[in-house]
Amino acid sequence: MTFKDLRDYIEFMKKRNKLIEVDEEVNVDLEIAEITRKATYAHLPPLLFKRIKNYENWKIISNVFYSMESLYEIFGTNKLESISEGFLSNLSNMPITFFDKIKSLREILGLGKVMPKAKTPSFKEEKNLDLAKIPAIKTWPKDAGRYLTFSITITKDPETDVHNLSVYRIQILNEKEAIIHWQAFKRGALTAKRYLEKGTTRIPIAIVTGVDPAIAFTAASPVPHGIDKYMFAGILRGEGVDVTELDDKLLVPSHSEVVLTGYVDLNDMRLEGPFGDHMGYYTPADYYPVFKLEKVYIREDPIFHVTSVGKPPLEDAWIGKAVERIFLPFAKMLVPELVDMNLPEYGLFTGIGIFSIKKYYPGQAKRVMMALWGTGQLSLLKTIIIVDQDIDVHDINQVIYAIAANVDPKRDVWVIENALTDSLDPSVPFPPLGSKLGIDATRKFKEEMGKEWPEEVRSDEGVAKKADEIINKIIKRYQTS
């Protein structure tokens, strides 16, 4: 399924009777966020708020990623792994030089279909609009102010021209200024460092709101550094993104509802926060760079996309589960013994990761931990649990059994200090550095244990077959009695 834009998606959901139109007047100050959270917890479909207090002619959509079902609708499949499996199946004939020059992608894989395409924009410049007149929301009572919560920050690498699209929370300060909360590990912050290396402290950026949900999902996903997110969005959509080049040479989605352009001033750092985030706690105030607005573009009767975060499972949890499925084939390519992974929605995406492996040699579980902690967004995982391939990582009771039966704490529990961690983690005393926990819940080789692993109990096949026949008869009699 490919949507041209956010409006196309809304029409699709309307036809399926899966769009809730809210006619009551609502306030951007806490009310929309509270209603959105309650809707997500109740597994309701997207909400379209049609009457926004003090923001006439605006609509707000929220709860787009309301469950895993929402991702199946957006991508047109309930096997999300198949999206990336199809792409990776072409890698077998790819020369290593691909990783050096992104331009070879089109030639080697025939990916012209999924590359971005220049199109006439649906938006127009609006000179009488500023940040104060945009319906950014306040999500929790002690937040520092109103925030853009599902707007997409677009930057371009000064050397490679690779575009990055990322979702960062953005605190509105006044009509012309806002603070961009990009953490040190995020692609926006790394792009900023590249500009600094070239002696530039003003980074051209665009902030867009209201796009095809597949593009929004891409922006929220941990696409590896160096890969253009427009290209990756095209892979997920099966069709290239329509883009428009702005005066600053940045490409933005042509059918965005709102486009804000300007620059981030790295010499102007101000306190951002506090903000109630997806951990369920307020993030303390810290210094981040300021965005300076220069131009605003909007569509007629704009639709503003927001989200509300808090304790799971909210929208970010389902985005994280979809990332888990779509990126599993990539993880398997980097860690060949990997069988499956589970980033539990209550594990806060970077808190806990459970991985099953085909175990061939002693020490393999710790080797896999090190590989995972060195891989993209997985490097932020606080706790990694490794189990054998016969354990279903999505069945928490099976995982608990593996820990209970296979783990000797002194031998199999590994604590690493002063490692990169999620800056939003409230338990970390000196972010972004914290500790990590690795648990090897695999069965052990003799070299690991000092003796042979005990034999697992197994039923006699003949006895088990007869017992099945008898128990099935018993169940049938019981159900009909």
Is 277 an active-site residue? yes
Place of tokens 């007149």: 133
Count other Cβ atoms within 10 Å, centred on residue 428. Answer: 15
CA geometry: angle 213, 215, 158, nearest 5 deg: 155
- Please give the Cα distance from 380 to 395 (Å, whole number): 23
- Please give the Cα distance from 324 to 326 (Å, whole number): 6
- Please give the Cα distance from 107 to 330 (Å, whole number): 21
CB-CB contact of 277 with 309 (8 Å)? yes
Burial of 108 (0-12, 13-18, 19+ CB in 10 A): middle
* The pair of three-digit structure tokens given for residue 329, joined into one six-digit string: 């084939």
Place of tokens 């012209």: 112
DSSP 320: H
Closest CA to 304 of 14, 13, 32: 32
In the chain, what is the straight-line distance between the N-terminal and C-terminal CA atoms, in Å?
Answer: 49
**CA trace torsion 112, 115, 120, 121 (10° rounding):** 160
CB-CB contact of 66 with 39 (8 Å)? yes
Burial of 133 (0-12, 13-18, 19+ CB in 10 A): middle
Count other Cβ atoms within 10 Å, centred on residue 185. Answer: 17
> Alpha-carbon torsion 129, 181, 48, 11, what sign?
positive
Phi-psi region of 164 (alpha: psi -120 to 50; beta: other; left: phi over 0): beta
- Of the listed 277, 316, 340, 422, which one is catalytic? 277
Where do the DSSP E strands lie in 1-111?
Answer: 20-22, 47-49, 59-62
Residue positions annotated with a catalytic role: 277
